[in-house]
Structure 1
């Protein structure tokens, strides 16, 4: 049986009872229908970058989504509609748009995984979320057995969430993104990125320059995949930034979110006594040496080791600040 550790960026997870490759959307639907008809659990797998799979593995069918295809349509208003199959590597999509002189996606450079996952958790980075550009998705509805197009406004897109997250009732087959049509980036909203580019917050820059700056920043935090670098053996940021009614400390950094505030999880973790490189059981897992939000496999870790470390961090922040941290990755067969 195929070990899911070979198929996830954490390099963790036990065997799959059954693994099938789906090279197109039709095969994805066919395999999911087949498993549903047999009463088997199904796990949709893309790049494996947002998964924590139990050491025991997965007892059903793992459908690896490998559908490919990008269609670019210029519209009368000058904007561009990008239709992308769910199995396309996300960073390849970003790179292709930038190479074509199309701005919009550049701040989302370097994010691992497949395109179909981007609307599920409303992927975001450096001040831009997929919600700002998403027009619609095609879904396979497992309850009705139908394929339907759903507009972005119907997906309940919020901070790292959507109505698709935490449920397996629908499968994303393709996404449609509306890009402005020019070569300028989205307005630079993230202060660190603005400093790197030498521009004022709110300004734009050539999309190619922004992509390179984002990749440079991500590499510095161990957030660009590198097989030789254990700091990148992670699921990205493990905890989301909590959104609360009020900050418990008046000196704590925060960002307004409506009438609430968002707190930086990394700041909370570090100020709860967890430094970069903080080890988990036996040193087999650890916080990244460069980015405390990433929990990393140091080469011989197990999923249970990672969960022990995640619980320590979560409980430490709760004890220090009374704030609950919640995991960003999908936990398969395991829990905190």
Structure 2
């Protein structure tokens, strides 16, 4: 039903192509301030600098602010495309419920926060030598403000784009649910291939990105809305940014701890994450919200609603 909501509005293929172009333009324009700031400091040498050096070129709070700003512009561009190109209410891109269920968002946020904080705490107990105390009050407080305001915007943009816009768009033409679930997860994971983490830890870490894409896609389809995915993604990025940074990550922050371990392929961590933690998360949500009929919700057909608002075929 969540995917089928797109069929009530203007869903021609060309509209999704134009929509993606609008979003790409928005993200590009949003990156101009960061690019300009780096250019003013590094000059033309920036075009020859490795990505890790580029990301650390500016003061980390300032750099994080400018980088996250681009997602705010991207989200505005996406909402513009949905509202004016598809003539689709943002609510129908968000959920099948009468309004966005904030309690769902907060419950998912809380569960994920507990998992992130607990995971970092366990990691510290097992390998304290891999952690360096990095806390500095004033820079941390600035980071806290930036992170609390802008990281949820960044993660919301990604959820609305992948689990919302693309999930509904691909599903509208595939006429089933598993193809958009798989494709959006692969695209979501693939777009992280340029992250410094991949160069540091190896391509095996891509399984983690694709895995989290699958998890967020599954909970979106099972729950018939983005609320749980919005809460999960926001908590994941927010608490990692506040608690743990590394020279090998895309976002280098004034976090409480710094990971100083030697980069290596994290096979066992990825294994635990995908095969243990994610199923536990699904189990908690399934129990809380009484999910059932998994086969139909994940592999069923996408059927056109009986009454369309606009009689437009793809």
Superposition TM-score tier, normalisation by shorter sequence: under 0.3
Per the normalisation by structure 1, the TM-score is 0.25
Which has more strand, going by share of residues?
Answer: 1
User: Bigger relative contact order, structure 1 or 2, given CA contacts below 8 A and separation 6+?
Assistant: 2
Per the normalisation by structure 2, the TM-score is 0.26
